[in-house]
Chains A and B, each alone.
Chain A
């Protein structure tokens, strides 16, 4: 069993207005081994409080598939936070 002190590194991507609020397009970040997408977002919302008001109007993806907020993350995962899409 992994010890509680073990961490995982994931890649995080921001798009649209989330990119502007976070001030970056991507970052690699170390997380606790039991992190999920919700706790990852909470970490960024803590760093950039304006992100919190978009929480209910964005979706997340994990490894380029739409993913629910309780998706547990693993080392090497690529997570993206996606505002409402407006292509076309």
Chain B
């Protein structure tokens, strides 16, 4: 299942180096790479977007991204995963999130990449604010599900 392969998971402030990530996950035992490249669009339901600003609860966001990477290794016969999210101000067309998954066969790579981006958008504590000519607004988001009360009671730290 390739669990010994080191993955890349990170939050970055500078532009994401997509080519390097795609090359990193590509191995001789692989037959396919599936990439999700999410980038800033020039509009939302609120009008014409000028730029976005992303912020994160950084240590928790990174831990959640690492959990997703570990989970896709357990669930899908893949080789390597790279998951990188950018923070700070992003201009139109700039990549905000990049996920690359390599695998011997394409089905697993598609499934793993799809799972990874959907789960990231639902569970990773990152927020974006949209800036317009006449103001700004926090983007609508998804509310992560929270474990039940009994399982989350913690001992004293």
Contact = CB atoms under 8 A, between A and B. Distances in A.
A61 B121 contact: no
A85 B139 CA distance: 9
Majority SS of interface residues in chain B?
mixed
B43 interface: no
Interface stretch (B23-31, B57-65, B70-78): B57-65
B76 to A, nearest CB: 20
A57 interface: yes
A65 B56 CA distance: 14
B141 interface: yes
B154 A62 contact: yes
A88 interface: yes
B60 A84 contact: no
Nearest to B148: A68
B64 to A, nearest CB: 9
Contacts of A49: none
Interface size class of A (residues with CB under 8 A): 20 to 34
A59 B147 CA distance: 11
Contact of B125 (A17, A62, A71, A85): A85
A15 B125 CA distance: 9
23 contacts: A58-B143, A59-B143, A59-B144, A61-B57, A65-B60, A65-B152, A66-B145, A67-B147, A67-B154, A71-B149, A71-B154, A74-B154, A74-B155, A74-B157, A75-B156, A80-B125, A82-B144, A85-B121, A85-B144, A87-B54, A87-B96, A87-B121, A87-B124
Interface of A: 13, 15-17, 57-68, 70-72, 74-77, 80, 82-88
Given A87-B125, A88-B96, 6 more contacts: A13-B57, A17-B138, A64-B57, A66-B147, A87-B96, A87-B120
Closest 3 CB pairs of A and B: A87-B126, A84-B141, A86-B141
